[in-house]
Amino acid sequence: MAVTRTFSIIKPDATKRNLTGAVTAKLEEAGLRVVASKRIHMSREQAEGFYAVHKERPFFGELVEFMMSEPVVVQVLEGEDAVKRNRDVMGATNPADADEGTIRKEFALSIGENSVHGSDSEENAAIEIAFFFNDDEIVG
């Protein structure tokens, strides 16, 4: 399996509770390496653009407001089969369904305020990384 990259966000519910380090530790324990990281406060334009794929979903407005509500930490993660590795350690979208040991089981508050984002495919990882990072900000 090749070393690949994925895109992660530590969401507002986690930064608000000072869990940036705790979430990052779970990612690192899962074999992922943080090769880019920055703390930002998303604009409405960024939040709506990033989640444009969900714009017809009933929770879109709530999701955009949530992502703008507090700072987030956007990251590029590298590792063997990084997209799947990250999705595995994140756990299910709804923390009630997440496996023991996953980030969402341990930290998420609800299906909306669920502590982390992770790309769902290598194709989307490349798009999402480029949405927030220039090449010279990623140091592997």
Catalytic residue ranges: 117
Which residue in the set 17, 120, 122, 138 belongs to the binding site for ligand ADP (CB under 6 A)? 120
Residue with tokens 């299906």: 111
DSSP label at residue 67: H
Binding to ligand ADP (CB under 6 A) within 51-90 occurs at 54, 59, 62-63
Site string for Mg ion, 64-103 (x = CB under 5 A): ----------------------------------------
CA 107 to each of CA 3, 45, 111, 122: distance values in angstroms, whole numbers, following the listed order: 27, 27, 12, 25
Q: Which is nearer to Mg ion, 59 or 137 (CB)?
A: 59
* Residue that is written with structure tokens 């703390």 in the block: 39
Q: Which of 8, 75, 117, 125 binds ligand ADP (CB under 6 A)?
A: 117
Q: How far apart are CA 13 and CA 7, in angstroms?
A: 18
Footprint of Mg ion (CB under 5 A): 120
